[in-house]
Amino acid sequence: MKNLIFATNNEYKVSEATGILGRKFKVLSLADMNFSEELLEDAETLEGNALLKAAYIYDQFGLDCFADDTGLEVDALNGAPGVYSARYAGKSCDAEKNMQKLLNEMQKQTNRKACFRTVIVLIKNGKTHHFEGKIDGEIGTKPSGNQGFGYDPVFIPNGFNKSFAGLSPHQKNRISHRAIALKKMAGFLR
């Protein structure tokens, strides 16, 4: 089994990646590498942020690694919060405050279309590769479900009548934006 570092501290994402890459690769989180620094994510694009994180970790360890960055893009808000999804409600924000701000902004909107978009940057043998995944859906009128993380309680994927947070991790990980990007990377690595 080959080691592949996932430049994240989000254990949820690590288990999602392990489920997809697990047979051939041992996915190592930053905690597995005893790395506890906060990674800088201040670029203007998802691609830029994923590259910042992957390049920083590649410089630290010199081992093959990848990083992801995700944005929730809402049609009625001209693509916001997008690359600012993690810091939507300002400096001391958390998932709860971000979701609340989004629901407030969407209060009078009838067009509730949105998508999650993930960009993964893989650095393998010093070369950079990009993979993208996207899932379309709608913003609910209130949070529902208690699985997942981030904006999951307010995102209803097309073809489902439940939010991401109402699906089991197994169901979400079969269809999610990140799963689509991870599967593309897995295909490339194979």
Distance CA 179, CA 126 (A): 24
- What is the CB neighbour count within 10 angstroms for residue 142? 9
Considering only residues 101 through 130, tell me which ones interact with ligand IMP, judged by CB under 6 A: none
Segment contacting ligand IMP (CB under 6 A): 64-72, 107-115, 128-136, 180-188?
A: 64-72
Among 25, 30, 152, 173, binds ligand IMP (CB under 6 A): 152
Q: Which is nearer to ligand IMP, 24 or 97 (CB)?
A: 97
| Nearer Cβ to ligand IMP (13/58) | 13
Residue 160 CB: number of other CB atoms within 10 A? 16
- Which of 164, 147, 166, 146 minimizes the C-alpha distance to 155? 164
From 69, 75, 94, 136, the catalytic residue: 69
Least CB distance from residue 1 to ligand IMP, whole Å? 26
Residues 6+ apart with CB under 8 A from 29: 5, 6, 8, 9, 11, 14
* Contact status: 69 vs ligand IMP (CB under 6 A): yes
* Structure tokens given for 30: 């930053």
Residue 157, CA distances (Å) to 10, 61, 164, 189 in order: 22, 37, 7, 28
173 binds ligand IMP (CB under 6 A): no
Active site residue 69: yes
Strands 65-74 and 81-82: antiparallel
The verdict on 163 binding ligand IMP (CB under 6 A) reads: no
Size of the site for ligand IMP (CB under 6 A): 18
Q: Tell me which stretch binds ligand IMP (CB under 6 A): 18-26, 58-66, 68-76, 107-115.
A: 68-76
Query: Phi first, then psi: what are they for 68, rounded to 5°?
Result: -125, 160
Active site residues: 69
Kindly list the residues in this chain that would bind ligand IMP in the complex (CB under 6 A): 10, 41, 68-70, 72, 85-86, 95, 98, 148-152, 164, 176, 178
